[in-house]
Structure 1
Amino acid sequence: AATDYSIKKKLGTQNDVEESSRDKQSPKVVPKSIAGWNNLVENRIQEAIVAGEFENLRYHGKPLPTDPNERNPYLDRTEFLMNRIVQRQGSAPAWIEFQKEVNNEISLFRQRMRESWLRYASANKIDPHSRNISWENDQKSYFEKTIKKLNSRLRSYNTVAPYVVRRGYLNLKLEFGRMYRNVKRLWLKPNGYTTFNFWLVKKFYNREFLKFK
């Protein structure tokens, strides 16, 4: 039995070498026309059928699974296919992680803007509901630099994200307005505005204001 195995092993090795030698000696045919490529593909398919490579397929005789996003008119076909490939490999598309990072950075920026404004309003006994041009001018340079960096991040994100989830760029004037509105919402009651109380500023400083994104 050991001798038979040894002979088969030697013959198998010799056959492998001969097949490899023939492959190296045989010229590689590169089709020069569409018809040539079609014939090459058809030949490869027939060879695979003969070799049994199409047997025991996972969805043989069964309907293929469908993806609801496949017919989404707002999702580019290429983006859909690439995302599906990545998802089947067990990981999320790269742009999703990028999106989380950018959203966190923007939330942190808005949080710091609120904190800066509340410190200023509390120290100077200013109603935090109202817009304050003096404070805005003092902070303008710092916030503009921060927004410039965030917009650069958004630009990078938009180059890899699908069209429907891309984000617009930040604008300092709009961010000031957004911050004032969030402050006003906190003090608004059904019967009107509450009386400004500096104790409330200190009370909500590290809690309620941080909830607004």
Structure 2
Amino acid sequence: MLDRSETDLINVVEQRIWHSMEDGQFENLPGKGKPLKLDTNPHADPAEDTLYRILSKNGCAPEWIELNKEIRSRISEWKISLKKAWANKYSGDHSMWVESSEILKSQLKEINNKVFRYNLIVPFGRQMSGLNWEKELSYLEE
């Protein structure tokens, strides 16, 4: 949380930016009217940036991107299966629910193992959360 002096400083900076914009001081900047060059990331490690560019030009993606696609697809399929099993539970076939829930729990564990692997190789800040059986069931109960 910002304290009073930080908030005051931010307000002063914002006021100065707005006054500069009103005075036209941002009108004659180099590159005005030209498209931005977004082919490189100035904050990325140059070696990684070069590697990703080479992979991209050759139709390949980093492992973590492919793994992310796989995880999202498996989660989507898993949630559909869970909803079907949940619906069967209330149609009166409790033994089918028990069998389905064991299979779904096993699949959930496999997905969470992939999420764990993904979180180890993905760039910082792009980690994802795994699935939680109880939480997923609570969503269905709502």
Q: TM-score, normalised on structure 1?
A: 0.40
Aligned to 2:138: 177
Shift of 1:168: 1.1
Counterpart residue type for residue 128 of structure 2: R
* C-alpha separation in 2, matches of 1:164 and 1:79: 16
Shift of 1:141: 4.1
Alpha-carbon spacing, 1:176–1:168, altered in 2? closer, same or farther (3 Å): same
Gaps of 5+ in 1: 1-64, 125-133, 182-213
* C-alpha separation in 2, matches of 1:69 and 1:115: 45
Give CA-to-partner distance per residue, 1:5-41, whole Å, 9 cap, x none: xxxxxxxxxxxxxxxxxxxxxxxxxxxxxxxxxxxxx
* C-alpha separation in 1, matches of 2:49 and 2:138: 37
Question: Following superposition of structure 1 onto structure 2, how do residues 1-213 of structure 1 map, counting pairs within 5 Å?
Answer: 66-67=37-38, 70-71=41-42, 77=45, 79-123=48-92, 138=98, 141-181=102-142
Alpha-carbon spacing, 1:118–1:69, altered in 2? closer, same or farther (3 Å): farther
Give the secondary structure class of the aligned counterpart of 2:80. Answer: helix
Give the secondary structure class of the aligned counterpart of 1:107. Answer: helix
Alpha-carbon spacing, 1:159–1:80, altered in 2? closer, same or farther (3 Å): farther
Aligned to 2:10: none
State whether residues 79 and 162 of structure 1, in contact with CA within 8 Å, keep that contact through their aligned partners in structure 2.
no
Shift of 1:169: 1.7
Find runs of 4+ consecutive structure 1 residues off by over 4 angstroms. none
* C-alpha separation in 1, matches of 2:54 and 2:126: 19
Q: TM-score, normalised on structure 2?
A: 0.56
* C-alpha separation in 1, matches of 2:40 and 2:109: 34
State whether residues 86 and 93 of structure 1, in contact with CA within 8 Å, keep that contact through their aligned partners in structure 2.
yes
Q: Tell which structure's C-alpha radius of gyration is larger.
A: 1
* C-alpha separation in 2, matches of 1:85 and 1:91: 8
How many positions carry a matched residue from both structures?
Answer: 104
Q: CA RMSD of the aligned region, Å?
A: 3.1
Gaps of 5+ in 2: 1-35
Residue identity (%): 22
* C-alpha separation in 1, matches of 2:127 and 2:101: 26
Give CA-to-partner distance per residue, 1:49-108, whole Å, 9 cap, x none: xxxxxxxxxxxxxxxx94366145xxx525444322311334333322221111111111
Select the structure with the greater relative contact order (CA < 8 A; seq sep ≥ 6). Answer: 1
